[in-house]
Amino acid sequence: MSGVVIDDEVKNLVDYIRTLHEGDHVDHSTVETIIKYKRPPTRDMTYYRIVSRTKVILFRKYNIVIINVPGFGYKIITNPERIIEARQEGKKGIKYIRFGKRLLDSVDSTKINAKQEEVRSFITSIYNKAIKLFTESTFKSKY
C-alpha cells in the first residue's frame, strides 16, 4: 500500500460517521477535511483506500452501511435501502456468474486435458446451480 499509514485517518472517518444517523449524507469535501487527503485525479489512491477500509469497519463492527452517491459523496443507508442495495449487489453477482459460464462454455474441450475438463465441468455445474437459484428467487419480484 505504497508505505502510507492510514489507520489514524480511517479511525477519524469511522468516528465521524458514527455520529451521523441513517439517511445522512457526507460530501467529499467533508471526507477530505477529516482524512486530510484529496480525492484523485492524482495518482495517489489513498483517499479511496481510506474510504474503502472505513466502509468495511463500519459494516463489520458497527452495522453501518455507507454507499457512494455519484457527484456528491456518501450516504448512510436505511434498513429498507439495504434490501435494495443487496438486490443490486446480487444482480452484479449473477452477471459475473453468467459471464464465467459463457467463458467456460467457450472452452474447446479438445485442447484441454482430462483433469482440466473435470475442473471445467465441476465449475460449470456450480454456475448452473447458481443461475437456477437466482432465476427462481425473489429477485424476479417487482421491487
Structure confidence by residue, pLDDT tens digits, 120-131: 999 999 999 988
Q: What is the DSSP letter of 77?
A: -
Q: Are 71 and 22 in contact (CB under 8 A)?
A: no
CATH number of the domain where residue 26 is located: 1.10.10
Give the residue from 59, 77, 95 where a domain finishes.
77
pTM of the entire structure? 0.69
Is residue 31 in some structural domain? yes
Give the residue from 30, 59, 77 where a domain finishes.
77
**The total number of structural domains that make up the chain:** 2
Is residue 1 in some structural domain? no
As given in the structure block, the three cell numbers for residue 1 are 500500500
CA–CA distance, 92 with 84 (Å, rounded to integer): 13
CA–CA distance, 89 with 5 (Å, rounded to integer): 30
Residue 67 shares a structural domain with residue 85 = no
Q: How confident is the model at residue 42 (pLDDT cuts 50, 70, 90)?
A: low
Residue 71 shares a structural domain with residue 11 = yes
